[in-house]
Amino acid sequence: MNSTVFSSGQKAFAVPKPDLKALIDPSSIVVIGASPDPTRIGGRPLAQMRDYGYSGSIYCINPRYREVQGFPCYPDVASLPATPDAALLSVNADAGLDEIERCAALGVKAAIVFSAGFAELGTEEGIARQARLRDIAARTGMAIIGPNCLGVANFNSGAIASFNLFAPQSGSKRAAIVSQSGALAAAIYASASQAGFGISHVVTTGNEACLDLSDFIEYFADAPDIDVVLSYVEQVRDGPRFLAAARRLKRNGKLLVAYKVGRSAKGAEAAQSHTAALAGNDRAYREAFRAAGVIEARNVAELVDISYLHRFAAGTPVGGVGVLSVSGAACVALADEFAEGGHPLPTFDAELQKELRTLVPAYGMVANPVDMTANVVNDDATLPTLVRLVGRSDAVSAIVTCGSANVMRKPWADIARDPERPKKLLITVDTLCNAREEAEASGFAYFNDMTRAARALCAYLSNAKATAEDAHIPPSPAVLSARASLARLKEAGRTALSEVEGKVLLQEIGVDAVADRLVHSPEEAAAAVLALGEPAVLKLVSPDVLHKTEIGGVRLGVVGEAAARAAYDDILASAQRLAPDARIDGISVQPYVTDGVEVLVGFTRDPVFGWMVTVGLGGVFTELLGDAETRLAPVSPQVAEEMFRKLKGFALLDGFRGAPKADVAAAAHAVALLSQFAVAAGDLMSEFEINPLLVRPKGALAADAVVVLSPEN
């Protein structure tokens, strides 16, 4: 049995790994605080388990009754005739903690804690209760969900350990909801039911005292009866664990769609107060989701729509969209939606357009979108033929048809029977009728809103074509050596590196840096300029001054000995005036490299997901125009190059107006190495930036480096 070690005082215990199956698919349940009233919190789970046909054993605990809603009732858990898999706690917080202790002693494997009154209160008493709950789980290995949660529901087995009232649903049930909010879980379930999208499991994690979002994503990654997980996310508590679980889910051919709230400053504040947890930076969440193959939805409806598509789109190749509509206006509207969603409709080749024209009147469009016109009403064979023709195009992986079911019913059925039916994702938009069952039976994903259909498909296709990122890029020996050097500097009490030291570190990592010479007098500066070549750059070297230009600590284009002496004196005078307390190690002299495009490579450490890498073109492009790309570190050279190519100003690197093309591959290689180093350095650093990295026609050189060591022990 998998186990962990829990230490308490002088004792150490081998504790079994929490059994999530006992929580999600229990063979027996005891309801503590059971109520004979099926409308009360302690009575609702019993009524629903009876209605949903739960076949396992159900026991009730309430000293006032011998039977509750037809189920046997006992005064306490010690009186039970057998040990149940799971306990459902519908009593107050303090009583619940005592009951969980008794259940643990009895050998109960799992517990669902409805009770509030824990850390969400923000009081010492509430925090202490939650600490006690966590201690029980750590000592016993119990799988405890909550507290302050809506519970768990398994519609496949009928184990409804929840006080939410779930309406009956139709459709294939191969989707799980994992939510950090009970109310939002109920809203997602209701929206899915209205869309005819079956839900098999609902898990609400509450305060996540013992088990969190990542535990359940990991569980469903291996569940054979689950294809997609819909998740409402307020915060991730352990970024690396979440990413590992999400990647595992994706490796198993499943989809994770997340509705992340707290994107605004006020929203993040509300999320933190709601869950008593740290909400990470929204951009970090967005990039982490993308790196792990998680599709981010903007609202509940989109969460359901994207998940619904997966039922029809699993294994669909990446490509464009073909649109066939009976309405020219719908053609225009859909073309706009796909363009704005990052998937402009591809123009069909001339041969395909010629074939389409044999079926479409001269006044209808055939380039894509295809305006079939109202003539499609006169011939049921038109739509199946058009679908077959468009489906042959390699430029198309999804076909969207738009028109009333009154026109589409027979063509849908004919397409389903067509032996030449394309193996593409088929979607139909019907804005006038309600014919979901007929469309789905013919293999079409069904929508009654054009915008929702287009936005869901754009999100799905973007995820499908996203660059596969290696989550386990091992650091090179050089990177590990550089980390050891940084650790020694930290142990020596250093808080930051000077530019010269920073360049030495970069070269140890494997990133080329502009050659320089440290000087300590005007005469040495003049000699260095002559030795290194003109024009030259002179820079203040001080671990206490990270941004030298702000205090006049940089001189560019220095030519001649006299100019070198003057520049040296001017820099020192400016530093003494504007940073009188700074320790000055000297002046760095280096050649003025002008045959490169300046690029910024910066790193920030997100409290949830760790180091993020950002690249952008230097100057106003990054600072004023916000032209930058961010990814979760580490990145591969391929992903780093993709980041550069996504910059709006990439043309400056690609030979703009006849300039020589910059060596983007070399820059990408440098970014990949630097990202490895940031991850390897971990909490040794708090700030890391190369600005600029000069991307030359051949190779890339770091001209400056900022390395700030973390004050953490």
The reply to whether 537 and 646 lie within a common domain is no
Rounded mean pLDDT of 248-266?
86
Specify whether 535 is located in the same domain as 674. no
In this prediction, residue 463 carries a pLDDT of 86
d(CA 680, CA 476): 10
Question: Cα(320)–Cα(307) distance, rounded to whole angstroms?
Answer: 19
Of the chain, the percentage scoring pLDDT greater than 90 comes to: 82
Of 429, 320, 403, nearest to 368 by C-alpha is 320
Scanning the structure block, which residue is given the tokens 């051919």?
A: 253
Q: How far apart are CA 348 and CA 354, in angstroms?
A: 10
Handedness of CA 431, 437, 443, 447 (dihedral sign): positive
Q: Are 634 and 672 in contact (CB under 8 A)?
A: yes
Residues 508 and 521 in one domain: no
Mean pLDDT, residues 141-157 taken together: 97
Q: Do 598 and 548 fall into the same domain?
A: no
Q: Report the largest interatomic distance among the alpha carbons of the chain, rounded to a whole angstrom.
A: 102
Same domain for 337 and 366, yes or no, is yes
**Total domains present in the chain:** 4
| 5 class by beta-carbon count within 10 Å (0-12 exposed, 13-18 middle, 19+ buried) | exposed
Separation of alpha carbons 427 and 512, rounded Å = 52
From the list 208, 707, 202, 248, the residue with the least C-alpha distance to 496 is 707
Band of pLDDT at residue 634, cut at 50, 70 and 90: very high
Write the pLDDT tens digit of every residue in 199-221: 999 999 999 999 999 999 999 99
CATH code: domain of residue 16 = 3.40.50.720
> What distance in Å separates the CA atoms of residue 222 and residue 238, rounded to the nearest whole number?
20
In contact, 108 and 85? CB cutoff 8 Å: yes
Task: Give CA–CA dist 50/211, Å, rounded.
Answer: 28
Residues 488 and 524 in one domain: no
Q: What count of Cα atoms within 13 Å lies in the side-chain half-sphere of residue 593?
A: 22
Residue 499 lies in a domain: yes
Domain range holding 576? Answer: 515-592
> Residue 551: what pLDDT?
93
Mean pLDDT is lowest, of 52-56, 65-69, 282-286, 588-592, for 282-286
- 527 and 454, same structural domain? no
- The answer to the question of residue 241 being in a domain is no
Residues facing residue 558 across a β-bridge = 536
- Distance between first and last Cα of the chain: 36
Q: CA 94 to CA 680: how far, in whole Å?
A: 44
Higher pLDDT, residue 162 or 263? 162
| Cis upstream peptide for 147 (omega within 30°) | yes
In angstroms, the CA 695 to CA 380 distance is 60
Crossing angle of helices 499-509/477-491, nearest 10°? Answer: 150
pLDDT of 466 above 90: no
pLDDT, tens digit, 9 for 90 and up, residues 670-703: 999 999 999 999 999 999 999 899 999 999 999 9
Residue 462 has pLDDT above 50, yes or no: yes
Predicted pLDDT of residue 336: 97
What is the domain-level CATH number for residue 660? 3.30.470.20
What is the model's pLDDT at position 431?
86
User: Within a domain: residue 65?
Assistant: yes
What percentage of residues in the chain have a pLDDT greater than 70? 92
Q: What is the pLDDT of residue 11?
A: 46
Highest mean pLDDT among 265-269, 288-292, 525-529, 592-596: 525-529
Per-residue confidence band for 196, with pLDDT thresholds at 50, 70 and 90: confident
The answer as to whether 289 is a domain residue is: no
Going by the DSSP 8-state scheme, the letter that residue 34 receives in this structure is: -
Cα torsion 327, 332, 334, 337 to 10°: value is -160
Domain containing 390 — which CATH number? 3.40.50.261
CATH number at residue 549: 3.30.1490.20
For residues 649 and 667, the answer to whether their CB atoms sit within 8 Å is no
Of 592, 627, 645, the one marking the end of a domain is: 592
Do 705 and 513 contact (CB within 8 A), yes or no? yes
Instruction: Quickly state the pLDDT bin for 74 (edges 50, 70, 90).
Output: very high
Tokens 């013919």 — which residue? 442
3-state SS assignment for residue 647? coil
The answer to whether residue 333 is domain-embedded is yes
Q: Which residue has the higher pLDDT, 268 or 208?
A: 208
Domain check: are 490 and 625 in the same one? yes
Contacts of 420 (CB under 8 A, 6+ apart): 388
Residue 277 is assigned to a structural domain of this protein: no
Does residue 201 lie within any of the structural domains?
no
* One domain, residues 145 and 28: yes
What does the pLDDT look like over 406-452, one tens digit per residue?
889 999 999 999 998 999 999 999 988 889 999 999 999 999 999 99
Order of all β-strands in the sheet with 28-32: 67-68, 71-74, 57-61, 28-32, 86-89, 110-113, 143-145
Res 619 pLDDT > 70: no
DSSP string, 41-104: TTTHHHHHHHHTT--SEEEEE-TT-SEETTEEEESSGGG-SS--SEEEE-S-HHHHHHHHHHHH
Question: What's the pLDDT score for residue 170?
Answer: 75
Least confident of 27-36, 74-83, 261-270, 560-569: 261-270
Residue 248 lies in a domain: no
Q: Residue 711 above 60 pLDDT?
A: yes
Q: Which two tokens stand for residue 271?
A: 């999320």
pLDDT at 470 over 60: no
Q: Are 157 and 37 in the same domain? A: yes
Where residue 499 falls among pLDDT bands split at 50, 70, 90? confident
Asked whether the whole model's pTM tops 0.85, one would answer yes
Domain boundary among 144, 163, 182: 163
**Same domain as 446, residue 373:** yes
The whole-angstrom separation of Cα 603 and Cα 687 is 7
Domain end: 146, 163, 180, which one?
A: 163
**570 and 635 together in one domain:** no
Q: Record the tokens describing residue 382, joined without a space.
A: 């038109």
In angstroms, the CA 421 to CA 686 distance is 57
Whether the predicted pLDDT of 50 surpasses 70 = yes
Q: Mean pLDDT, the chain, as a whole number?
A: 91
Answer whether residue 2 shows pLDDT above 90. Answer: no
